[in-house]
Structure 1
Amino acid sequence: MREPVEWPTRDLLTHRAGTTPERTAVVDADGGGTTTYRELDAAVDEVAAALEALDTPNGRVATLVDTRPAVGRLLFGAMRRGLTLAPLNVELDAETLSTQLQALDADTLVCERDTEELATEIADRPVVSVDAPDGGGVERSLSDEAVEDGGTAEPVELDRDATQLVLFTSGTTSDPKGVRLTVGNLVASATASAFRLGVSPGDRWLVCLPTYHMGGIAPFVRCVLYGAAVVVQREFAVGATARAVDERGVTGVSLVPTMLKRLVDAGWNPAGTLRFVLLGGGPVPPSLVERCRERDIPVCPTYGMTEAASQIATARPETAFEHRDTVGQPLVCTDVKVVADGDPVGPGVRGELVVDGPTVTPGYLDEAATDAAFGPHGLQTGDLGYRDEDGRLWVVGRADDRIVTGGENVDAAAVEAVIRQCPGVEEAAVVGLPDEEWGERVTALVAGDASPESVLEYCRDELAPHEVPKRVRVTDALPRTASGTVDRAAVRAAMRN
């Protein structure tokens, strides 16, 4: 008797193209073109053939390609050949990229026309482009390789434990680490997300986040599994993004809080087709959630990590509107424990959030980093939070953001939450700086219309004396990483000046 099939035997796109070949797979929000699953399958076959023609003994292909439809072709082309894809951040400096490329030990670097010169500067290995070479030092394109190999490639057997992606963390509080994500991690994440957000065959998920981060690349996997379409916009822009939602029939979009705030500030009233705004990458101000409620914007605050292939917990709009600051319950099959002094604690008790389940990475490129990150209860996130009786999560800060000043512990996130309530303040980042007298001194970088004096006065009324910042600076916007999280290293540098 034949054994039942419990797992896709070939890459995810092969299965989708064989099931619904006529459905729209990709929409180019900038150029206006659309691609069906049949057409995407043929394009991915060409990429897979090109990758097969390259020498890849280590099974890893790095990319230096910004957000564009070609990212999906590269992802599924690598999956079809059983290769690991490692998207690199095109905004990083050459030295950092060189270090990451060495850590990856990638066989090939794939660039685009705009990154040709940077790619040839950092690479000591073959470089090919997704575009026709433009004199930047790259001599061959993937199309050239595919033509020489005949243009087709036989899909390899899909292995759920194979590392499909390596993504580098944002590195806001430490050096970026290369996170390994398996095919199983990606499928489990897509499945859990579908249970929380819902799925319709006509869904269209707008991608305007960088695709070298989890929030930008996850929709490509999810839409192929769902039979939905991914709408790709090369970069976020208030007017263009608002038009893309309305004119492209977008039903879901992934944003960071700063993006959503800019849309709301501009008077955004999304079309009725929009079902969810998946909002992650940092704390969501309660005032922003309230403004979304007033405008009937279906905001879904989420807590996620690269190490968990995106979402860990997500609040549906009705939960977000009713329960201030929550990120909702964990997704299905995702286990989140609150651990204090080494043991799980009950509702209402703060501790470190520890995550386990099928979405969680098997580890980092560096084994020492892997050993340090995992404990008896799972992945130690370094995030602090608590749960209520109904399992809803509240994330209150980072364990390594704790400031010790004059022997007193200061929770940076708690101080930030107070400062955000000060009239005129839009955002706040609190960091500790070395101080000869106090050990560390509390400082705050604030965005908005408030003055440093008004912020300090507000803090003196609302905070304990040791929590009041010794210095406040006002800026136009907080520095952020490409994934939208506050860049604390940049905040510290700004406060030192």
Structure 2
Amino acid sequence: MNTPNYTQVHNRFKLNGFHLDKDDLCRVAYSFIKEGDDFERPVGHFLLDWFDHNDFIEMNTSGSTGIPKVIRVEKQAMVNSALATGNFFDLAPGDKVLNCLPVKYVAGKMMLVRGFILGLDMDFVAPTAHPLRNNDTQYAFSAMVPLQAQNSVAELHQIKKLIVGGAKINASLEKDLKKLPGQAFETYGMTETVSHIAAKKVGDKNFTVLPNVSIASDDRNCLVITAPDISQEPIITNDIVELISDKKFIWKGRIDNVVNSGGIKLIPESIEEKLYKKIDRRFFVAGMPDSDLGEKLILAIEGEAYTLPETIFDKLDKYEKPKEIIFIPHFKETGNGKIIRRDSLM
């Protein structure tokens, strides 16, 4: 089968119940920009950018792990990513899907691209915290951030295959997702990889990469992604991983977050993994300057202060136990819900 070109729109594609071709989408784009709601205007701008004379799209990175920046992504790479997702999750033309993500970010853009490249029947709704409210439609596929999934637990039986990304899935949500009659997956990716390049069933340890992607690790034990359909060069990440094979890996944490406390290197995300079933609020572990240790390990918890039972640290190694617990009324976060650790501590 010939690979579709980014200028093509699948003849089975529907948006909110209407069959739309390229010209129709451009008309919709102008309408969204001129008369649309706030969440529809970015869709209009994206569609006009998609069908312009350029072979690339400019996108903003989220800024959760560094300074937000604008990068160029080839449109054909986005098409190839959409095809890989369709292959991995067994999506077929005519499948009913829900797009409830903000199109300002890569995940929402890629849902649209999957729609018109794979020929999906897409309902596009406002990217609210309760995307399934007053909606009893059955869907083959959808993508959500953890907050949306958490708020939609009672309705998630309407979705056959759900992917959750953008932020860590907490213990409570993981438990709820495992009970669903459908399948729920956690995804791994970033703007540079054109949305996700790997996924795992909720509760599993190992991520499996999508078709035509292979992986290795560098001398920092950070993930290196080879995905010729998406990037001409290998993508070197700052994600510490344990490689299981050239197709499977366990994500450990971000090298940017590693805490060097008295010469001991600690990975906050690995410590958080041991704590996340014991703390029912959002939290993270980080390093703060210390005159004796260089950096001391702290536990930051969102909300009002309360007394934690000492037993919550039982599974931690000697050096993993936080030296201090701090409470922060509200964590700083990106527009798509990722906690910005450094700003939250300021």
- Work out whether residues 6 and 79 of structure 2, in 8 Å CA contact, stay in contact via their aligned partners in 1: no
**Helix, strand or coil for the counterpart of 1:198?**
coil
**Matches of 1:250 and 1:183 in 2, distance apart?**
27
Q: Partner residue of 1:471?
A: 324
Cα displacement (A) at 1:355: 0.8
Cα displacement (A) at 1:399: 0.7
Q: Partner residue of 1:353?
A: 223
Cα displacement (A) at 1:6: 5.4
Deviation track 1:99-151 (CA, whole Å, cap 9, x = no partner) reads xxxxxxxxxxxxxxxxxxxxxxxxxxxxxxxxxxxxxxxxxxxxxxxxxxxxx
Q: Partner residue of 1:26?
A: 15
Residues 1:427 and 1:393: Cα distance change in structure 2 (over 3 Å): farther
Q: Partner residue of 1:270?
A: 157
**Matches of 1:395 and 1:452 in 2, distance apart?**
31
Residues 1:426 and 1:394: Cα distance change in structure 2 (over 3 Å): farther
Cα displacement (A) at 1:446: 2.4
- Work out whether residues 304 and 311 of structure 1, in 8 Å CA contact, stay in contact via their aligned partners in 2: yes
Q: Partner residue of 1:75?
A: 46
Larger radius of gyration: 1
**Matches of 2:305 and 2:276 in 1, distance apart?**
11
Cα displacement (A) at 1:473: 3.0
Within a 5 Å distance, the mapping from 1:36-75 to structure 2 comes to 36-38=19-21, 41-44=23-26, 66-68=38-40, 70-75=41-46
**Matches of 1:211 and 1:46 in 2, distance apart?**
15
Within a 5 Å distance, the mapping from 1:391-430 to structure 2 comes to 391-422=247-278, 424-430=279-285
Residues 1:428 and 1:297: Cα distance change in structure 2 (over 3 Å): farther
**Matches of 2:85 and 2:214 in 1, distance apart?**
14
Tell me if 1:256 matches 2:151: no
**Helix, strand or coil for the counterpart of 1:295?**
coil
- Work out whether residues 66 and 211 of structure 1, in 8 Å CA contact, stay in contact via their aligned partners in 2: no
**Matches of 1:439 and 1:470 in 2, distance apart?**
13
Cα displacement (A) at 1:77: 2.8
Which residue identity is paired with 2:285? V
**Matches of 1:214 and 1:205 in 2, distance apart?**
17
Tell me if 1:167 matches 2:20: no
Q: Which runs of 5+ in 2 are unaligned?
A: none
Q: Partner residue of 2:240?
A: 384
- Work out whether residues 425 and 448 of structure 1, in 8 Å CA contact, stay in contact via their aligned partners in 2: no
- Work out whether residues 253 and 276 of structure 1, in 8 Å CA contact, stay in contact via their aligned partners in 2: yes
**Matches of 1:8 and 1:198 in 2, distance apart?**
17
Cα displacement (A) at 1:269: 4.7
Which residue identity is paired with 1:469? P
Residues 1:43 and 1:201: Cα distance change in structure 2 (over 3 Å): closer
**Matches of 1:243 and 1:72 in 2, distance apart?**
23
Identity of aligned residues (%): 21
Within a 5 Å distance, the mapping from 1:28-427 to structure 2 comes to 34-38=17-21, 41-44=23-26, 66-68=38-40, 70-83=41-54, 162-163=55-56, 165-238=57-130, 240-244=131-135, 246-247=136-137, 249-264=138-153, 267-271=154-158, 274-315=159-200, 317=201, 320-321=202-203, 323=204, 325-326=205-206, 328-340=207-219, 351-361=221-231, 378-388=234-244, 391-422=247-278, 424-427=279-282
Q: Partner residue of 1:442?
A: 297
Residues 1:7 and 1:206: Cα distance change in structure 2 (over 3 Å): closer
Question: Given the alignment, which residue of 333, 336, 341 partners 1:488?
Answer: 341
**Matches of 1:209 and 1:295 in 2, distance apart?**
21
Cα displacement (A) at 1:401: 0.7
Residues 1:452 and 1:211: Cα distance change in structure 2 (over 3 Å): farther
Which residue identity is paired with 1:270? H
- Work out whether residues 86 and 92 of structure 2, in 8 Å CA contact, stay in contact via their aligned partners in 1: no
**Matches of 2:211 and 2:6 in 1, distance apart?**
25
Q: Partner residue of 1:369?
A: none
Cα displacement (A) at 1:447: 4.5
**Matches of 1:452 and 1:259 in 2, distance apart?**
29
**TM-score w.r.t. structure 2 length?**
0.87
- Work out whether residues 66 and 212 of structure 1, in 8 Å CA contact, stay in contact via their aligned partners in 2: no
Residues 1:360 and 1:7: Cα distance change in structure 2 (over 3 Å): closer
Q: Partner residue of 2:308?
A: 453
**Matches of 1:279 and 1:339 in 2, distance apart?**
27
Cα displacement (A) at 1:337: 1.2
- Work out whether residues 223 and 230 of structure 1, in 8 Å CA contact, stay in contact via their aligned partners in 2: yes
Aligned residues: 343
Provide the alpha-carbon RMSD of the alignment: 3.1
